[in-house]
A and B are shown apart, each in its own frame.
Chain A
Amino acid sequence: MKTKKFSLKRLAQAGIAAGAISYSGLVMAADTIKVGVLHSLSGTMAISESTLKDTVLMMIEKQNEKGGVMGKKLEPVVVDPASDWPLFAEKARQLITQDKVDVIFGCWTSVSRKSVLPVVEELNGLLFYPVQYEGEESSKNVFYTGAAPNQQAIPAVDYLLDDLGIERFVLAGTDYVYPRTTNKILEAYLKSKGIAEDDIMINYTPFGHSDWQSIVSRIKEFGSEGKKTAVVSTINGDANVPFYKELSNQGMDASDIPVIAFSVGEQELSGINTGPLVGHLAAWNYFQSVYTPENNQFIEQWHDYIGDDDRVTNDPMEATYIGFNMWVKAVEKAKSTDTDKVAKAMIGVETPNLTGGTAVMNKNHHLSKPVLIGEIQDNGQFAVVSQTDGVVPGDAWSDYLPDSKNLIADWTDPVNCGNYNTKTKTCGGQTAK
């Protein structure tokens, strides 16, 4: 049986990971470069994060086959923060002080990143964060390889406004920091585009919400009043499956009321029959269906590594891929793994995207990437229906929120600040030492 083969493989992997942990504690490994992997392997977030752990391990394995970095082999140190936010901080501290890793790839939720942030700043560590997030942050010690709101939410809404002629918006999200901030930005943006207050409906639901009947029926009602309506969904994680099931059961067709999602990728869809969802949308910087030689090769590698041809790839995996490759380039450029030197070398580093073109690391520690809009297909994949002309540089501080309108992040001299106010010419907090 397929499940059985799969389970053995996983057991073996768990064993290897466990071995790596104990091994790293015992051996004084001066001739290796240690790479910390801080992704939950148990608890609620394991569903999303364990894939990224495998991605980092695959990248390390591939890099070692190529001879490592600066002639040294890379050595992974995998820890399990178990979807427990304070534990993320503890494990990060352990990785930096005890395991002496040179870089950490990790975190998924914003809460986990916020909990790790003071630790990496205090200990001057280096964190690569691979998930799309709400912005409003830039740290000297963190590189954000996922999308900022202007690389996902804003282009998505532009597509709805310009290409689909949508006049009414439902902003539906899970009740936590990412959807709330994103929706605040979107609300301000929509109003600036002339959408009336009455034509915006905002709805929040708890984590893991599973009873979507009344909400879907309200959305249908909201959308039946003559104006073309769309749903902008920042619904997170597991709650999406029952949401989409309810959509299809209540017959809410994408051509009547399309749903555009920022947290639904190939992996989330692999849990549902997407037949009735054809035409609903998602905005990302990467889709598995994009046909480029780089992407074909990446998918092939992934299937070989994981031993299952049905496993999908997704946007945070690409962000991990870009982040890892950039780090390797920066280390080689700096000829050192020292945090400050690598961080300096990171700025301006270019690596190929999987979707064609190149990603560039900007002065604000965010990437320039293309933005793609895809429609769900009946095979659980997305078909790209719109794409930004060039790359979009990530904006750490949104231009649509009054508090952050004047802020920028710039980690080069002379500014060297994560939240520099361009009006008052002052740095509002954490500065480079």
Chain B
Amino acid sequence: MPRVLLLIFMLLGVAGTALAQTSAAPTDDAGQTTMASPDGEGRPSESVAPGVSKEEALRTSLAKFKSRDFDVKAEAIETIARSGHERGEALLQALLDRELLHDLAGDRIVLGEQADGGWALRDPISEEDVGRAEARAARPVIINNRLRQQIRDLKSVTALANPNPLNRREAARRLVGNTDPVVLDALRARQAEEANPLVKGVIDTALNIAVLRDPASHLNERLNAIDAVAGSLEPAVRNVLRDRLAQSDAAAERNAAERALSKIDQRTERYETADTLFFGLSLGSVLLLAAIGLAITFGVMGVINMAHGELIMLGAYTTFVVQQIFPDGHEWSLLVALPAAFLVSALVGIVIERGVIRFLYGRPLETLLATFGVSLILQQAVRVIFSPLNRSVVTPEWMSGALEINPIFSLTYNRLYIIVFALIVFFALQLVLKKTRLGLQVRAVSQNRGTARAMGIRSERVNALTFGLGSGIAGIAGVALAQLTNVGPNLGQAYIIDSFMVVVFGGVGNLWGTLTAAFSLGIANKIIEPMAGAVLAKIMVLVFIILFIQRKPRGLFPQRGRAAEE
């Protein structure tokens, strides 16, 4: 069934009526015609009975979408593709985009767009305005995964002629492993004229797999095909080689398959290591972001701030609010959210310091309890203001998806940006501490409060500003974390333990220690996780830290000198 379908859809493309890509080179058209015409000519006209116009046939097919039965809908998709009507492809695309509606009141299939809480309806063929419907009085025609796949396969075949090589490559990749003769004919036709080496490579792989899957192919052909695909990382290649290894009668072929597989396995292993490393770095960067603010307030100032997680949460909520203020600015609103989150969290931090912590310096237990109370207050405040439900933060387009390096190794953009971002924040903070007046004062006060005051430093003010700085950085971390996880009242709780873990492990008061600790814990976690599972990995890391702290109570990089004596 899908075979016939594909054939017909291609013919459609040949006729040029449905092909939106008018800029395709004329040679493409010629190539496809010679390829498709011998066995499929005349079929579109067959389906249109004499006396019935194409448009009526199309309307009859469309009416089938009122059915709840997916088989009926699959048939309708097929007849629409076969109809030869110029609206065919656009209508299938509309079906995919949920723009094809069943208007319940008029019991008809129409095109529709959401407008003022209802639907603006258009005729599917003439595209004329045909009125509107209430939100629940019309609903998109439901398709399932099978139908979606059906439409996409149809599109992939036509997209092989797309002028953009990236689209062609994508289309070819979707067809790798497909052994439908019609698809293979299309791939062969494309292979002959494809100039782009990347696209050609994918098409070659697809055709070589087809050779290996074809029971009628000659041994020599198969051996050549195995040689050709030996370096490919496409999962379909591995699968076909495994099948050949298990099924082939010829020893030469089995040997070739085995060699090719071991070559593939070697490469796969290398990329798996790289994968683990990337995951570890990315988890490490999240830990670093969460912990770095704490490294200031706890590490440098010695305040056990249990409300640190909630300061991160405030940053995440600031991101949400900024996106609400600029509903159309999803692509750039993060840039506004960063300073806004810094300010909000820093202000809250300063209020906490002025209101609670300054009365408790040198009394760690009381500080712990008081800030824990503050964290609960902040959580519940957020619940009252924003509701206990999670808020949706939109991920900008440039942070979605993945940078695909090869079929088995890709780096997700959001993680990539967050690694870079964490490092920027880290070095910016180093700069502030090392090169600015505030940094100098902070270091002075943290090393010896009495002497610093005697030198004329207003230690109260420095305390407030330092705490504000640490809190503000927590807010910035919140902006980044909002891209990875839930923005909800519990966001902070999830990170407070991890943050303390990183700071203590790295050595209190040492920013480089925090950096090293974050990345080494992240990578360790990701190395253990595939072997032991996520639950056990976390436990093992915690046990390791407990043992480590027993041996070296001051962490990886203990502070030396006078400051450490206190």
Contacts and interface: CB of A to CB of B under 8 A. Distances in A.
Interface of A: 1-3, 6-7, 10-11, 14, 41-42, 44, 46-47, 50-51, 164, 175, 203-206, 208-211, 213-215, 217-218, 221, 224-226, 238, 241-242, 245-246, 248-251, 254-255, 258, 267, 270-273, 276, 278-279, 289, 291, 296, 309, 375, 377-379, 383-385
A384 B143 CA distance: 9
Contact of A241 (B140, B152, B486, B538): B486
Given A1-B324, A258-B145, A175 B535 contact: yes
Given A213-B282, A214-B529, A251-B401, A291 B386 contact: no
B504 to A, nearest CB: 20
B390 interface: yes
Contact of A11 (B235, B384, B401, B494): B384
Contact of A255 (B145, B235, B276, B414): B145
Given A226-B239, A296-B136, A251 B390 contact: no
Given A213-B282, A225-B235, A249-B401, A46 B388 contact: yes
Contacts of B530: 214, 218
B394 A273 contact: yes
A34 B352 CA distance: 42
A287 B429 CA distance: 49
B487 A271 contact: yes
Contact of A205 (B242, B387, B534): B534
Contacts of A238: 390, 485-486, 488, 490
Interface string B386-417: 11111110110000111010001010111100
Contacts of A47: 388-390, 488-490
B392 A255 contact: no
B554 interface: no
Contacts of B401: 249, 251
A397 B282 CA distance: 44
Contacts of B408: 221
B412 A213 contact: yes
B400 A248 contact: yes
B436 to A, nearest CB: 34
Enumerate the 7 nearest inter-chain pairs by beta-carbon distance, A residue then B residue, closest first.
A224-B235, A46-B388, A271-B390, A226-B239, A383-B142, A249-B412, A213-B279
12 contacts: A3-B386, A7-B386, A11-B384, A46-B489, A213-B279, A238-B485, A245-B484, A250-B412, A270-B392, A271-B389, A272-B392, A276-B400
A291 B488 contact: no
A42 B383 contact: yes
Interface in B88-131: 98, 104, 117
B401 to A, nearest CB: 6
B385 interface: yes
A335 to B, nearest CB: 39
B392 A251 contact: no
B410 A10 contact: no
Interface centre among A42, A255, A383 (most CB of B within 10 A): A255
Contact of B385 (A3, A204, A267): A3
A264 to B, nearest CB: 13
Contacts of A205: 534-535
Contacts of A214: 275-276, 279, 526, 529-530
Contact of B400 (A213, A249, A289, A383): A249
Interface centre among A7, A42, A246, A379 (most CB of B within 10 A): A42
B158 to A, nearest CB: 18
A383 B145 CA distance: 11
B312 to A, nearest CB: 12
A279 to B, nearest CB: 5
Interface centre among B390, B487, B494 (most CB of A within 10 A): B390
A356 to B, nearest CB: 13
Contact of B410 (A42, A208, A251, A383): A251
Nearest to B529: A214
Contacts of B414: 245, 249
Contacts of B362: none
Contact of A279 (B145, B392, B410, B493): B145
A211 B283 contact: yes
Nearest to B391: A271
Interface string B367-382: 0000000000001100
Interface centre among B379, B383, B414 (most CB of A within 10 A): B383
B383 A385 contact: no
A273 B534 contact: no
Contacts of A379: 98
A204 B533 contact: yes
Contact-size category for B: 35 or more
Contact of A242 (B146, B379, B486, B493): B486
Interface in B526-547: 526, 529-530, 533-535, 538
Contacts of A208: 490, 494
Given A213-B279, A375-B145, A242 B484 contact: yes
A235 to B, nearest CB: 11
A6 B70 contact: no
Contacts of B534: 203-206, 209, 215
B255 interface: no
Contact of A10 (B384, B404, B413, B526): B384
B98 A249 contact: no
Contacts of A7: 384-386
B37 interface: no
A210 B491 CA distance: 10
B402 A249 contact: yes
Given A206-B535, A225-B239, 16 more contacts: A11-B384, A14-B384, A47-B390, A50-B389, A205-B535, A211-B282, A217-B275, A217-B279, A226-B243, A241-B486, A242-B485, A258-B145, A270-B390, A291-B136, A375-B145, A378-B98
A44 B489 CA distance: 8
A51 B494 CA distance: 23
Contacts of B415: 213, 249
Contacts of A213: 279, 282-283, 412, 415, 526
B392 A273 contact: yes
Contacts of B538: 206
A109 to B, nearest CB: 14
A245 B395 contact: yes
B324 A2 contact: yes
B144 interface: yes
Nearest to A40: B388
A258 B238 CA distance: 22
Contacts of B487: 271
Nearest to A246: B412
Nearest to A6: B387
Nearest to B538: A206
Contacts of B282: 211, 213
A14 B239 CA distance: 59
Contacts of A217: 275, 279
A251 B402 contact: yes
A204 B390 contact: no
A255 B402 contact: no
B153 to A, nearest CB: 10
B149 interface: yes
B321 interface: yes
A209 B380 CA distance: 22
A204 B236 CA distance: 28
A396 to B, nearest CB: 29
B139 interface: yes
Nearest to B240: A226
Interface centre among A44, A47, A203, A272 (most CB of B within 10 A): A47
B102 to A, nearest CB: 10
B462 to A, nearest CB: 35
Contacts of B321: 3
B286 interface: yes
A208 B497 CA distance: 13
A156 to B, nearest CB: 14
Interface string B27-49: 00000000000000000000000
Interface string B461-497: 0000000000000000000000011111110011000
